[in-house]
């Protein structure tokens, strides 16, 4: 019997909960097609109570593109496509990345010439306080601007750069400030406070001022939805029309997540 997904909006500007599936099992082609469409519609999908093995998570990821090892180095692991996000330390060494502090809004791997497309994150352990993930609908933020502003921003490019210099590729990476989704053809803002360095060709003060205005515009309740994690949650999101941030949490509380990602398949347009 083919299981059918039930997709229900989370009630915010984006995000939907998907039930009725066992992601540890292979999915039928029509089911994958439905999930692809749901991701295009809602940008973020929540699959509650899906405790997947590493191989199961990679297999599910591969329905939406080729899962690849993250560009950041981590300790040896059996399944290279799995990237651990955690504040936990063993023998004084972190088992994963990103610690416990807030990680500001960003679109995954935007500092690469072919950045992140789809990311998946599974919750193994969560803190009692904090650690939520917030998503911004950058399509809605773009649509809310007046037509002249949208047209002006569409002529600009922004340089993206990671604050850890060794993670950046050689040369300068710039992307259009307004990008067009290759499947939906919807336009969205494509800058973020965590990974955007400056607007190409602008003086520093002029660039900082415009970016600040955009960030304040994007960080409005009308465009932002917060996911409250539960153990076993699997989140999948489309980085092209969204950005996300992780809220901080007490460092003495454990948070362990498994991430997979699809990137490098397409340039930014």
Above 90 in pLDDT, residue 75?
A: no
Residue 20 vs residue 2, higher pLDDT: 20
pLDDT (tens digit, 9 = 90+) per residue, 93-120?
Answer: 999 999 999 999 999 999 999 999 999 9
Cα 64 to Cα 60: distance, rounded to the nearest angstrom: 8
**pLDDT averaged over the chain?**
95
Cα 187 to Cα 15: distance, rounded to the nearest angstrom: 18
Provide mean pLDDT across the span 239-259. 98
Residue 215, pLDDT score? 98
Provide mean pLDDT across the span 237-260. 98
Cα 65 to Cα 36: distance, rounded to the nearest angstrom: 11
Cβ neighbours of residue 9 closer than 8 Å, sequence gap 6 or more:
15, 16, 42
Residue 52, pLDDT score? 97
Provide mean pLDDT across the span 79-90. 95
Report field, pTM of the whole predicted structure over 0.75: yes
pLDDT (tens digit, 9 = 90+) per residue, 116-139?
Answer: 999 999 999 999 999 999 999 999
Cα 269 to Cα 266: distance, rounded to the nearest angstrom: 9
Residue 216 vs residue 269, higher pLDDT: 216
Above 80 in pLDDT, residue 72?
A: no
Burial group, residue 170, by CB count within 10 angstroms (0-12, 13-18, 19+): exposed
Question: Between β-strands 89-90 and 83-86, what pairing exists: parallel, antiparallel or unpaired?
Answer: unpaired
Confidence of residue 264 (pLDDT cuts 50, 70, 90): confident
% of residues, the chain, pLDDT over 70: 99
Provide mean pLDDT across the span 186-208. 98
Above 90 in pLDDT, residue 265?
A: no
Residue 4, pLDDT score? 84
Above 90 in pLDDT, residue 30?
A: yes
User: Taken in order 29, 59, 254, 238, is the CA torsion positive or negative?
Assistant: negative
Above 80 in pLDDT, residue 166?
A: yes
Residue 1, pLDDT score? 53
Residue 2, pLDDT score? 61
């Amino acid at each position: 019997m083919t299981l059918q997904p039930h997709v229900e909006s989370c009630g915010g500007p984006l995000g939907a909960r998907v039930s009725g599936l066992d992601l540890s099992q292979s999915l039928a082609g029509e089911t994958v097609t439905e999930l692809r469409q749901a991701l295009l519609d809602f940008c973020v999908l929540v699959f509650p109570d899906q405790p997947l093995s590493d191989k199961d998570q990679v297999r599910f990821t591969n329905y939406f593109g080729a899962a690849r090892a993250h560009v950041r180095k981590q300790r040896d692991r059996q399944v290279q496509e799995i990237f651990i996000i955690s504040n936990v330390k063993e023998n004084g060494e972190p088992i994963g990345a990103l610690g416990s502090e807030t990680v500001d809004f960003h679109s995954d791997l935007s500092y690469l010439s072919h950045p992140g497309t789809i990311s998946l994150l599974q919750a193994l352990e969560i803190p009692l306080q904090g650690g939520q993930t917030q998503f911004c609908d950058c399509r809605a933020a773009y649509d809310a601007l007046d037509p002249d502003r949208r047209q002006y921003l569409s002529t600009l490019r922004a340089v993206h750069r990671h604050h850890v210099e060794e993670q950046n590729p050689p040369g300068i990476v710039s992307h259009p400030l307004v990008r067009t989704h290759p499947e939906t053809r919807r336009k969205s803002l494509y800058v973020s406070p965590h990974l955007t360095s400056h607007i190409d060709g602008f003086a520093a003060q002029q660039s900082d001022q415009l970016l600040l205005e955009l960030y304040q515009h994007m960080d409005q309740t009308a465009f932002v939805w917060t996911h409250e994690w539960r153990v076993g949650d699997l989140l999948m999101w489309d980085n092209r029309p969204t950005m996300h941030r992780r809220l901080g949490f007490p460092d003495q509380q454990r948070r362990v997540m498994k991430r997979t990602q699809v990137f490098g398949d397409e340039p930014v347009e």
